[in-house]
């Protein structure tokens, strides 16, 4: 069991919030200039990486260095991979239909509405969800079983995310698959391997701070909130409503797990 530098952790919260805010404001400036606010999805991963780096600097000397550097690296690798993937996927496309529908209802200036409802909201979510990343640097005991179990679950998540995204991109790139439902590879085991991967990544990062029961209790909101967003919020639930009328989707849904992987039904 580890101790936890509560006072130092509390002092680091504001700079980490500032890092998330800075990334979102810079991205808002880009989105406003381009007239396309889908760029905020790229900033999501970048903001987590920025928070991890700021937290690593703030926590220097307060906790175990191995754990601090490991968590920073895990978060940065996940965030930068996600940002790169989303940037490549969105290149050459116009506004995301989700944001277009939202901004069509804006009562005034669309850009300022996007700032409030999209950028600042996502910045706040980044700060809350990243609490285990911030806390990990303030654990005073040496990295132990909780750390390596968390890193292992993170690795499972990254594989599901990366492989799932790669398989889907290759499937969509083949003109012969136009209009078809992706039901191969990891997508035969779960309808959302990328969202399941995110789920594992954030529960893995949370496991690392479970070496301190107090830190775990203080940061439990992170994986719970991320799980809600992935399963019931802007992830799985929203995407499946959008896909419901696609030819073949009903059969795919009937034969494939909705989230947690399992062998496909024959």
Look at residue 245 in the predicted model and tell me its pLDDT.
86
- Mark the ranges of the chain whose per-residue pLDDT is less than 70: 1, 266
C-alpha separations of 208 from 60, 76, 119, 139 in Å: 18, 16, 29, 10
In a domain, 262, yes or no: no
In a domain, 230, yes or no: yes
In a domain, 108, yes or no: yes
What distance lies between CA 38 and its chain's CA centroid?
A: 15
What radius of gyration, in Å, describes the C-alpha atoms of the chain?
A: 19
At 28, phi and psi to the nearest 5? -60, -40
In a domain, 46, yes or no: yes
Look at residue 94 in the predicted model and tell me its pLDDT.
82
Look at residue 106 in the predicted model and tell me its pLDDT.
85
| Closest among 110, 116, 1, 134 to 55, alpha carbons compared | 134
Look at residue 1 in the predicted model and tell me its pLDDT.
57
In a domain, 180, yes or no: yes
The residue assigned the tokens 């890092």 is 19
Tell me the three state secondary structure of residue 114: helix
Cα separation of 219 and 77, whole Å?
21
The domain total for the chain is 1
In a domain, 263, yes or no: no
Q: Is the dihedral of CA 191, 193, 198, 203 positive or negative?
A: positive
In a domain, 160, yes or no: yes
In a domain, 264, yes or no: no
Domain hosting 207: range is 6-255
Cα separation of 111 and 185, whole Å?
40
Look at residue 97 in the predicted model and tell me its pLDDT.
80
CA atoms within 13 A on the CB side of 155: 7
């Amino acid at each position: 069991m580890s101790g936890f530098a509560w006072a130092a952790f509390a002092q680091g919260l504001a700079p980490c919030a500032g890092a998330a805010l800075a990334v979102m404001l810079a991205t808002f400036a880009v989105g406003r200039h381009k007239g396309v606010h889908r760029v905020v999805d790229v900033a999501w991963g970048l903001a987590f990486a920025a928070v991890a780096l700021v937290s690593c600097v703030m926590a220097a000397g307060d906790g175990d260095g191995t754990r601090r550097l490991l968590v920073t690296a895990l978060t940065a690798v996940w965030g930068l991979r996600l940002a790169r993937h989303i940037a490549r996927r969105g290149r050459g496309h116009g506004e995301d239909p989700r944001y277009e529908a939202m901004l069509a209802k804006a009562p005034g200036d669309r850009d300022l509405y996007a700032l409030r409802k999209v950028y600042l909201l996502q910045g706040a979510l980044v700060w809350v969800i990243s609490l285990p990343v911030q806390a990990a640097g303030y654990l005073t005991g040496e990295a132990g079983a909780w750390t390596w179990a968390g890193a292992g679950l993170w690795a499972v998540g990254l594989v599901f995310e990366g492989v799932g995204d790669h398989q889907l991109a290759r499937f969509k790139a083949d003109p012969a698959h136009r209009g078809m439902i992706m039901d191969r590879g990891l997508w035969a085991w779960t309808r959302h391997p990328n969202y399941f991967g995110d789920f594992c990544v954030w529960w893995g990062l949370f496991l690392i701070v479970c070496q301190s029961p107090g830190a775990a209790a203080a940061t439990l909101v992170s994986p719970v909130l991320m799980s809600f967003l992935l399963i019931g919020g802007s992830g799985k639930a929203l995407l499946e409503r959008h896909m419901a009328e696609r030819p073949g989707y009903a059969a795919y849904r009937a034969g494939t797990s909705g989230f947690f992987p399992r062998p496909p039904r024959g």
